[in-house]
Amino acid sequence: MYQIVSATVGDVGLSAMRESTPPKKKRVDRHGRRLMVATLLGVVLVTAAVAAWSYYSTSLRKADLLKTELLDLNKDGFVIHNQAGAVIFQMTFRSDSLDLDSCLKEGRVLTCSRSSAGSLNFFIETVKPKDTVMCYRVRWEELETSRAVEHAMAYHGSHWYGGGETRSQHWPIVFHGSQEPEPFITGDVGSKQRVFGNILERYWLSSNATAIKINDSVPFHLGWDENSKMMRFQARYENSPYKADRGRPVRAELSYRVCVGHDVGSIHKYMVRRYFNKPSKVPSEAAFRQPIWSTWAFFKTAVNQDKLLTYASEIQTHGFNWSHLDLDDQYTSGYGEFDFDPVKFPNASHMFKKLGDDGFKFTLWTHPFVNYNSTNFGTGVERGLFVREPSGELPALIRWWNGIGSILDFTNPETRDWYALHLRNLKNEYGIASFKFDAGETSYLPQQFSTFVPLQDPSMFTRRYTEMAIPFNDRAELRAGYQSQNISCFFRITDRNSLWGYDLGLKSIIPTVLTVSILGYQFVLPDVIGGNAYPDYTDGEKGFPDRELYIRWLELSAFMPVMQFSIPPWVYNNEVVEIARKFTALHETLVAPRVLKLAGEVLNTGDPIIRPLWWIATDDEAAYKIDSQFLIGDELMVAPVLEPGKQERDIYLPAGKWRSYKSEHFDKGPMHLTDYPVDLDEIAYFVRSA
Amino acid sequence: MYQIVSATVGDVGLSAMRESTPPKKKRVDRHGRRLMVATLLGVVLVTAAVAAWSYYSTSLRKADLLKTELLDLNKDGFVIHNQAGAVIFQMTFRSDSLDLDSCLKEGRVLTCSRSSAGSLNFFIETVKPKDTVMCYRVRWEELETSRAVEHAMAYHGSHWYGGGETRSQHWPIVFHGSQEPEPFITGDVGSKQRVFGNILERYWLSSNATAIKINDSVPFHLGWDENSKMMRFQARYENSPYKADRGRPVRAELSYRVCVGHDVGSIHKYMVRRYFNKPSKVPSEAAFRQPIWSTWAFFKTAVNQDKLLTYASEIQTHGFNWSHLDLDDQYTSGYGEFDFDPVKFPNASHMFKKLGDDGFKFTLWTHPFVNYNSTNFGTGVERGLFVREPSGELPALIRWWNGIGSILDFTNPETRDWYALHLRNLKNEYGIASFKFDAGETSYLPQQFSTFVPLQDPSMFTRRYTEMAIPFNDRAELRAGYQSQNISCFFRITDRNSLWGYDLGLKSIIPTVLTVSILGYQFVLPDVIGGNAYPDYTDGEKGFPDRELYIRWLELSAFMPVMQFSIPPWVYNNEVVEIARKFTALHETLVAPRVLKLAGEVLNTGDPIIRPLWWIATDDEAAYKIDSQFLIGDELMVAPVLEPGKQERDIYLPAGKWRSYKSEHFDKGPMHLTDYPVDLDEIAYFVRSA
């Protein structure tokens, strides 16, 4: 069209010029006038045509430019399609919109240099690391403001997993109400309502085979809104514990990568292999086979030498075996001390010798706190071992569940040496096997603080603390983690309450274990059987968990990587003791060998031991929503009873051939088994045949 | 003029209209044209005239409006003239300039509603409280920004006094270099370089009979600049320990009043009577007559029962008398405790009984700190007695010269009761007369903090602390003060070094005592004779002050309201003991009666006991600059030797009839006596005859 119009213009022009040397004036005059009119008309037409074409072609270029692989960018956000053209990911720019005229595309990189607010450094880089995976690296850095940058991810239309532990844990994630963006840093969900998890990673995975990983350098805040069904990803420094790197301008930068794969399993495997640390060794085989027995829930802080001796003796007399015993809170006189309280443990050396001769091993409870009234507080103050107030001059006081004190600054090499020395001394003097490292979350740091080595991301404090467990990692237990997947220790999900429900109760265990597994923590402790029997959070009488709850909890625990007892079965009756013996035996014979084999694979793959049903059923919508069943590896599927008073439950069997623990065969799956009978002393499990 | 022009316009218009119904067309046409031209011309003239008149009259009104009494306002500041037309005060608006078109004057109030940055609440109100005094209340409140407000006062052309103690104290004030505005809050100038004084008020007085008082509500920061010769008065909340009142917008407001009088003495008297608190009683007469003996400089923290007994005994055997003895630092085991260290004071009760029988009275050293390793730290933590970190949840730690601990929160009634109870118990159990309340400056507060009752002005902490002395005020000693003039106690100038110079040495005493006197603190202790003998700040051998320095210091102290010994004269030789006896006697017979009479007048007037020479010589430029002489009342003039190796000095005698201590008569003043001889055991003083 353009060329045709252009040729006409040329003709008109040329003929006009040719005829401008006329033979007769009058004819020329009349003819000339007509030509002039025609010429003018032509020019107008041409101009219009050129303008239209330019606009059209610019639009074409722009439209082309704003596509990169399966991602479409517009001024207010971007969407990613799958091969079939359906939208599988949607991100909205909330803090500002792009000036699309400032965008350029060069190869795999699409950049924009202006937002509606000013200069900006924006890019989306496309990376195709393998045939089945496409990743989009996104970075938004405002150059002229120190404002927050916020992108909001639509979470509707698919199921999401990951992030971290929460107080009310669901699988997939459930977003309640709306939440302004808060620092996404480790926090003790067991003691505080509105914090993110004890174990936490900046990673989410969706059922439509997309995953998002927020970059480590981002001062990352998370919020959500139930109405708009958006997760709000915000980068900011204002009113935030994140600190900009010294010497760098305080400009919030939001950067992340979104990867898309063929299915949820393969994209997760790609992300784990690419972005997560992996452990280098499998911790104690014994702990995977035999239960750990903790003094905590049973004795609380009233533990003493006699009680511990009796406990050990009763474990033996009731015919149980053990990996080790955990001597928990208050074996010292003060918090922050490392000597046995001489009143409660008049002869600790002799006690450990005697118990050691009987085949018992021990872990000791430890924590990062030194209370102001402990003998080591002065040492910490004078030697600068503590986290300090913001000016860095003086220690800051903090409150934790056992009082007021300071928190050891594990960014300080002198603190690390001092702490490690004390732990080594305990280990050597009493033959202690290892330690239970309690706490470590940033929610126990002062509201404002400074550390020996400045922390841009406060959660790095958690990482530093978890590193203290490395020398003791055969049986060490941690309950907080951030980028800590390579600490080859057991990670315990945070303290459970002795309740049936999702609020840290029995129902929360599977969602929580699945979540931390998705975050790369595979040597998971599901916390003590029956929960911690905290007075205000216990379904049951006499301070003990409800008997039925205890039994159901025991059954579930038997199918977890490690069993942990504290309230012993013999506080109920002999029937409970027998059920417990049955399930510790089942754990050792059926579960442990599978878990140990999978644990070995973790070192190479980072893949979960405890897996969600969709792991083997990625095309199965039903599988994405099930939070009361799980897989051990790909073959053993477990469906515990988690409701009080029930001796049956509905069970979903994914496609495949399954043999039940009652030796029934099912091969017409996927299928629902409704009201499948499960006696009180039973747990439903199914083994898949190849 | 306006009306005349207006009438002409009317005529032209009317005649044109009348003639617009013409008898003949042609004539009308020609005549009409001429009329039209004339009319147009007239309109143009009229418009121009009206515009000119409006402009002229507006200017007249504006010029009138921007004068209020002897103050001329312009967009960048204001000046105040004296009756003779000379500029005696000049203030520059540094943060912003006024939009003069927004200004209005109604009666005695001149208001402006816009600055070049936006809306504003500005006024200058003129108040003439008495015939000889004119005050200007100035208030600048930005309505649209939370920026700092800054006004800069020219300090050249006159001499300025007031403000507070400084580390290098001069009289009149000397501004060195340039200083960005810093919070004008109490600070220990003895331990920190860049703080404002232990005793501090927002008041300055100038030799040309102007005074400025910054309002209490202002978040006040002071800076200066030697080049432009400006004091910078800034109101701000950002990067500042001042806190806006809860529920009020965080808008910095700078308000102050400038008062002008006939002479410096009368304007100062007006300001003191109007704006300063006054004490309600005169403290211990004995302390004005006989010296206080402190253990501090002599024994430091090594004081113990034997040493104290020996010290008391030596005071007696050397023939000295005493008001009381001050048992200073470290009679307790820990800082924050109130029991005598049983090792250092094995029998404190018996010791005080015995010394009491010998006629000794005692004050005990106390302070607002509780060290972390004292037995009372836990009490303070658990009962919430301490100043806290900003969130208010936990105590904050602070560092002071005796270690690390917390600081008692005297805004908390429970803390006040607890502290007062301990002091009362000491008083009752040991027959203690009173206490030396050390510290109390805001520079010992945490960098960021919160108190039980929020403090908008951190210096109110000092005020609250000084109130603790009220029940013990007969002999109580304080060294920090803010709006504390009504605490009827002795106020000590901060610790002196055993040096000759201005840096807390001998030469600093007169400027400092004059300064705190101008600030309304009249029961002044000039600190211990010879200074504190701090190792790094001592001119002298064996750790004692230089003998000559000690003697000159002794002589000066004899003419101060109270004498304080610590290093005793007998550490030198008998000659020094004899000089000391001579001067303690002179103090008791010559000085004390005058001081006590003046002290009684303070309750009514607030006027200084120790006065600058200009007090009786307001027309005498020389009198404004003299910092090595002073008056006791209006009749006794003192001129101590303050230079090493000198047995003579220049002395300025103001107008009047003077009789020297050598009974010479001088009545041709004002005059300079050059190289006036003063032996080592003498101090020059002159008595004025009526």
ipTM: 0.81
**Helices then strands, each counted (H, E), chain A:** 14, 35
Q: For B399, which of A393, A397, A446 is closest by C-beta distance?
A: A393
Q: In what order do the strands lie in the sheet with B362-366?
A: B524-525, B490-492, B477-478, B434-437, B362-366, B324-327, B292-294, B564-565
Q: Does the CB of A370 have a partner CB in chain B at under 8 Å?
A: no
How many inter-chain contacts (A to B, CB under 8 Å) are there?
57
Give catalytic status of residue A225 as yes or no: no
Q: How confident is the model at residue A311 (pLDDT cuts 50, 70, 90)?
A: very high
Q: Mean per-residue pLDDT for A336-360?
A: 97
Q: Does the CB of B46 have a partner CB in chain A at under 8 Å?
A: no
Contact B378 A391 (CB under 8 A): no
Q: How confident is the model at residue A15 (pLDDT cuts 50, 70, 90)?
A: very low
Q: Give the pLDDT of residue B370.
A: 98
Gap between the Cα atoms of B398 and B404, Å rounded: 6
User: How close, in Å, is residue B407 to chain A by CA atoms?
Assistant: 13
Q: Which of A438, A474, A539, A607 is catalytic?
A: A438
Q: CA nearest A352: which of A327, A334, A330?
A: A327
Taking only the tens place, the pLDDT of each residue in A287-297 is 999 999 999 99
Q: Higher confidence at residue B501 or residue A16?
A: B501
Q: Give the range among A21-25, A428-432, B205-209, B219-223 with minimum mean pLDDT.
A: A21-25
Q: Does the CB of B359 have a partner CB in chain A at under 8 Å?
A: no
Q: Which of B142, B150, B165, B441 is catalytic?
A: B441
Which residues in chain A are closer than 8 Å to B391, comparing Cβ atoms?
A: 447
Q: Does the CB of A380 have a partner CB in chain B at under 8 Å?
A: no
Contact A397 B394 (CB under 8 A): yes
Distances in whole angstroms, Cα of residue A573 to Cα of each of A497, A563, A577, A579, B427: 22, 20, 7, 10, 66
Which residues in chain A are closer than 8 Å to B389, comparing Cβ atoms?
A: 389, 396-397, 446-448
Contacts of B682 (CB under 8 A, 6+ apart): B555, B661
Whether pLDDT at A123 is above 60 = yes
User: How close, in Å, is residue B239 to chain A by CA atoms?
Assistant: 13
Contact A398 B395 (CB under 8 A): no
* Strands (E) located in B302-402: 324-327, 362-366, 369-371, 398-400
Contact A389 B397 (CB under 8 A): yes
Q: Does the CB of B21 have a partner CB in chain A at under 8 Å?
A: no
Do A490 and A259 meet the contact criterion of CB atoms below 8 Å apart? no
Q: Mean per-residue pLDDT for A639-658?
A: 96
Q: Mean per-residue pLDDT for A370-380?
A: 97
Q: For B372, which of A378, A446, A447 is closest by C-beta distance?
A: A378
Which residues in chain A are closer than 8 Å to B398, comparing Cβ atoms?
A: 394
The pTM assigned to this predicted structure is 0.86
Taking only the tens place, the pLDDT of each residue in A385-415 is 999 999 999 999 999 999 999 999 999 999 9
B581 class by beta-carbon count within 10 Å (0-12 exposed, 13-18 middle, 19+ buried): middle
Residues lower than pLDDT 70 in chain B: 1-35, 38, 52-65
User: How close, in Å, is residue A536 to chain B by CA atoms?
Assistant: 24
Looking at the DSSP bridge assignments, the partners of residue A607 are none
Give catalytic status of residue B101 as yes or no: no
CA atoms within 13 A on the CB side of B605: 17
Residue in chain A closest to B449 (alpha carbons) equals A389
User: How close, in Å, is residue B387 to chain A by CA atoms?
Assistant: 12
Show the DSSP H helices in B494-591 as ranges.
509-518, 547-558, 574-586
Select the residue from A369, A371, A376, A381 to test the B interface by mutation, using most B Cβ atoms within 10 A: A381
The answer for A 385-444 residues in CB contact with B (under 8 A) is 389-391, 393-399, 404
Gap between the Cα atoms of B260 and B137, Å rounded: 12
Give me the phi and psi of B156, to 5 degrees please: -80, 160
Query: What's the sign of the alpha-carbon dihedral A610, A612, A615, A617?
Result: positive
First to last CA, chain B: 66
Distances in whole angstroms, Cα of residue B525 to Cα of each of B195, B293, B331, B491, B493: 21, 12, 23, 6, 6
Whose structure tokens read 């029930």? A646
Which residues in chain B are closer than 8 Å to A378, comparing Cβ atoms?
A: 372-373
Q: How confident is the model at residue A654 (pLDDT cuts 50, 70, 90)?
A: very high
Q: Does the CB of B383 have a partner CB in chain A at under 8 Å?
A: no
DSSP for B373-436, written as a single string = TSTTHHHHHHHT-B-B-TTSSSBBPEEETTEEEEEB-TTSHHHHHHHHHHHHHHHHHHT--EEE
Q: Does the CB of A379 have a partner CB in chain B at under 8 Å?
A: no
Gap between the Cα atoms of A646 and A683, Å rounded: 12
Query: What's the sign of the alpha-carbon dihedral A426, A428, A433, A437?
Result: positive
Residues in chain A: 690
For residue B185, how many other CB atoms are within 10 A of its CB? 27
- The 3-class secondary structure across B630-658, one letter per residue, is EEECCCEEEECCCCCCCCEEEEEECCCEE
Residue in chain B closest to A375 (alpha carbons) equals B373
Q: Which of B263, B503, B648, B681 is catalytic?
A: B503
Average pLDDT value for chain B: 92
Q: Does the CB of A534 have a partner CB in chain B at under 8 Å?
A: no
**Helices then strands, each counted (H, E), chain B:** 14, 35
For residue B643, how many other CB atoms are within 10 A of its CB? 14
Do B439 and B368 meet the contact criterion of CB atoms below 8 Å apart? yes
Q: Give the pLDDT of residue B144.
A: 80
For chain B, the C-alpha Rg in angstroms (whole number) is 32
Q: Give the pLDDT of residue B327.
A: 98
Whether pLDDT at A432 is above 80 = yes
Q: Does the CB of B44 have a partner CB in chain A at under 8 Å?
A: no
Gap between the Cα atoms of A296 and A401, Å rounded: 14
Select the residue from A192, A371, A377, A394 to test the B interface by mutation, using most B Cβ atoms within 10 A: A394
Q: Give the pLDDT of residue B584.
A: 98
Which residues in chain A are closer than 8 Å to B372, comparing Cβ atoms?
A: 372, 377-378, 381
Do A363 and B369 meet the contact criterion of CB atoms below 8 Å apart? no
User: How close, in Å, is residue B343 to chain A by CA atoms?
Assistant: 22
Contact B394 A395 (CB under 8 A): no
Give me the phi and psi of B571, to 5 degrees please: -75, -15
Record the tokens describing residue B513, joined without a space.
């005592």
Q: Which of A19, A503, A578, A648 is catalytic?
A: A503
Do B411 and B453 meet the contact criterion of CB atoms below 8 Å apart? yes
Which residues in chain A are closer than 8 Å to B397, comparing Cβ atoms?
A: 381, 389, 394-397
Q: For A446, which of B372, B381, B389 is closest by C-beta distance?
A: B389
Query: What's the sign of the alpha-carbon dihedral A584, A587, A593, A596?
Result: negative
CA atoms within 13 A on the CB side of B11: 9
**How large a percentage of chain A has pLDDT more than 90?**
84
Record the tokens describing residue B521, joined without a space.
């603190």
Give me the phi and psi of B321, to 5 degrees please: -110, -175
Gap between the Cα atoms of A598 and A606, Å rounded: 10
Q: For A447, which of B377, B391, B398 is closest by C-beta distance?
A: B391
For residue A26, how many other CB atoms are within 10 A of its CB? 8
Q: CA nearest A627: which of A206, A173, A231, A201?
A: A173
Pairing outcome for strands A524-525 and A490-492:
parallel
Q: Higher confidence at residue A519 or residue A32?
A: A519
Give catalytic status of residue B441 as yes or no: yes
Q: Give the pLDDT of residue A429.
A: 97
Q: Which of B438, B495, B527, B682 is catalytic?
A: B438
Record the tokens describing residue A484, joined without a space.
């800590």
Residue B614 three-state SS? helix
Residue B236 three-state SS? coil
Q: CA nearest B75: which of B108, B107, B54, B102?
A: B102
CA atoms within 13 A on the CB side of B325: 27
Which residues in chain B are closer than 8 Å to A394, comparing Cβ atoms?
A: 396-399, 404, 446
Taking only the tens place, the pLDDT of each residue in A246-286 is 777 788 899 999 999 999 999 999 999 999 999 999 999 99
Q: Does the CB of B57 have a partner CB in chain A at under 8 Å?
A: no
